[in-house]
Amino acid sequence: MVRWARDLSWKAALVGGAGTGLTALIIRLIGVGAASSLSMAHIGLMASGGAVVAFGIFYPLATAADRVFSNILKRLISNDNDNGAALLSATPAWLRSATTEFENALADRMQMERDISVALKESEIRQHVAEASRGHLESVLHSLRDAVVVTDGFNEIVLANESASELFGLNGPSALNGKVEDVIPEQQIVQMIQSMRDSGNVAARRSFEHEINDRNDDRILEVSLSCIPDQSQSGGGVVTILHDVTHERQVSEMKTDIVSKTSHELRTPLSLIKAYIEMLIDGEAQDEESKIEFYHIIQTEAERLERTINNMLNISRIEAGITHGEWDECDVKGVINDVVELSTPRAQEKKIAITHKQSQLCTVAEADRDMIQQVIMNLVSNAIKYSPEGGRITLTTGSSDCDRSILVTVADTGLGIPPDAIPKLFDKFYRIKNYDRVAHGTGLGLNLVKQIVERIHGGEIGVESELGMGSKFWFTIPCKRAA
């Protein structure tokens, strides 16, 4: 019987698989049966039933069944062990009770499984949300114009956004986990990251300015560093944010430069007016001729001051969109004739010949006549200023853009323009250095011309020149005003 029971135990264990609790129960049951007078039929029934249950519900239910049968066994043991078999056979309600208890346990177990399944799904959802959140944060980091570099406690790069990769020329994922000193070529930044990590002070933030000198692209960076709290064995890391302030600095310098140049252009004629008036008051003009000379200089400088202020205001108005022009039909040939007539006396002082090669084409455009006259006058005035004695100035009209625009050119035999000056020629206050010895100017005239042609009339302006060989300025204006 014992041998049979051992076989049965082995089979139950085999069928039950992981249901070791159930197998233990059977063995314990056999032990009890061997010691008592438990019938073979009951034992066989128990063992077979256990094996079937184990087979049906596998491991998850095995422990539940284990608990149920343990209870039954305990109950049997706690009762009269000697009469256990009799108890079993004499009380069929026991089986019903056991079945009910088993069913309840099974229901509990299934509920537990459902709860676990729900918990698993919730966990999966939380994981998805966390992944989405991380992805979102990474997208935000990568979209930042500021470069962001995160290093860990070993000074290894754990995150570098796209701006950082671009700034330091990092090669994608290979830069990650690299030592900061191997990846970032800027020694000062590396030292500050290492020093920040060594300090471990999460409350402190350090900022400094760093200049990256590149052959073609110098940059000024505002670098700020802060420590990440220590959350690992490697110790706290460092977040480094690099804000490129190159453009801000350039704008700031440009503003300072414009203020300085404006000041110079206004103060110089004002200086002369004030000085000559004081000289007259102090009787420093010793004869009538000197007095007339002083009056003439005062008048010239007052006109210069007025011209500068007007140019500045006109440019400012056009840029602000306040000036829109007085639109009418304007014959550009007629405007050129007027300019030639007005400029001839000044040109004759230097024996410069002004020629207008009149076009046979229609040169009527919808334009602000006064403004177009100001443009041509300015170009001719420059040509006179920077042409040597005996030079030539030639004005032409033509058409461009399949007769939809009128083309005007002003060519001279003057000094010409250095190639490096051409891109800046129409900038506010730009002056070609060498030209200052030849004639004075505010550096506003050509900027105003450009604003009138391009902003007001929707045309184009440009210059072709060779140093020492003269210059040819050209502009176009559409025949019809854009709707």
Partner 1 sequence: MTAETGTKKSTILIIDDEKHIVHVVSLKLRNAGYEVISAGDGEEGYEMACDQQPDLIITDHQMPYMTGLEMCHELKKNEETSHIPILMLTARGYALSEEDLKNANILQSISKPFSPRELLDSVKGSLAA
CA-to-CA distance for 192 and 195, rounded, in angstroms? 5
Select the residue interacting with partner 1 from 89, 133, 139, 263 (CB under 8 A).
Answer: 263
Torsion of CA 113, 118, 122, 128, to 10 degrees: 80
Q: Report, in Å, the least distance between residue 426 CB and partner 1.
A: 20
Q: Report the residue number, 96 or 296, with the smaller CB distance to partner 1.
A: 296
Asked if 270 is part of the footprint of partner 1 (rule: CB under 8 A), the reply reads yes
CA-to-CA distance for 315 and 397, rounded, in angstroms? 26
Buried residues in 445-466 as b, exposed as e (16+ CB within 10 A): bbbbbbbbbbbbbebbbebebe
Q: Report the residue number, 283 or 423, with the smaller CB distance to partner 1.
A: 283
CA-to-CA distance for 401 and 467, rounded, in angstroms? 29
Buried residues in 403-412 as b, exposed as e (16+ CB within 10 A): eebbbbbbbb
Asked if 394 is part of the footprint of partner 1 (rule: CB under 8 A), the reply reads no
Asked if 260 is part of the footprint of partner 1 (rule: CB under 8 A), the reply reads yes
Angle at 191 between CA 186 and CA 196, to 5 degrees: 130
Select the residue interacting with partner 1 from 69, 102, 276, 475 (CB under 8 A).
Answer: 276
Strand 353-357, strand 392-400: pairing? parallel
Q: Report, in Å, the least distance between residue 451 CB and partner 1.
A: 24
Q: Report, in Å, the least distance between residue 220 CB and partner 1.
A: 22
Q: Residue count at the site for partner 1 (CB under 8 A)?
A: 25
Select the residue interacting with partner 1 from 207, 231, 271, 348 (CB under 8 A).
Answer: 271
Contact 47, 8 (CB under 8 A): yes
Asked if 309 is part of the footprint of partner 1 (rule: CB under 8 A), the reply reads no
Q: Report the residue number, 89 or 263, with the smaller CB distance to partner 1.
A: 263
Q: Report, in Å, the least distance between residue 433 CB and partner 1.
A: 5
- Binding flags for partner 1, 436-465, as an x/- string (CB under 8 A): xx--x-------------------------
Site for partner 1 in 417-436 (CB under 8 A): 433-434, 436
Q: Report the residue number, 136 or 424, with the smaller CB distance to partner 1.
A: 424
- Would you list the DSSP string of 27-77? HHHHHHHHHTT--HHHHHHHHHHHHHHHHHHHHHHHHHHHHHHHHHHHHHH
Q: Report the residue number, 210 or 261, with the smaller CB distance to partner 1.
A: 261
Q: Report the residue number, 273 or 383, with the smaller CB distance to partner 1.
A: 273
Asked if 259 is part of the footprint of partner 1 (rule: CB under 8 A), the reply reads yes
Contact 177, 157 (CB under 8 A): yes
Site for partner 1 in 216-235 (CB under 8 A): none
Across 228-331, the runs of DSSP E, i.e. the strands, are 238-244, 328-331
Select the residue interacting with partner 1 from 66, 152, 301, 368 (CB under 8 A).
Answer: 301
Select the residue interacting with partner 1 from 262, 394, 399, 409 (CB under 8 A).
Answer: 262
Q: Report the residue number, 166 or 257, with the smaller CB distance to partner 1.
A: 257
Asked if 299 is part of the footprint of partner 1 (rule: CB under 8 A), the reply reads no
- Would you list the DSSP string of 433-446? GGGGGT----S-HH
Select the residue interacting with partner 1 from 39, 268, 337, 394 (CB under 8 A).
Answer: 268
Select the residue interacting with partner 1 from 278, 303, 306, 319 (CB under 8 A).
Answer: 278
Letter for the amino acid at 234?
S
Q: How many residues does the chain have?
A: 483
Q: Report, in Å, the least distance between residue 329 CB and partner 1.
A: 44
Q: Report the residue number, 6 or 264, with the smaller CB distance to partner 1.
A: 264
CA-to-CA distance for 395 and 473, rounded, in angstroms? 10
CB atoms within 10 A of CB 62: 23
- Cα first-last separation, the chain: 111
Q: Which residues make up the interface to partner 1 (CB under 8 A)?
A: 259-260, 262-264, 267-268, 270-276, 278-279, 282, 284, 297, 301, 433-434, 436-437, 440
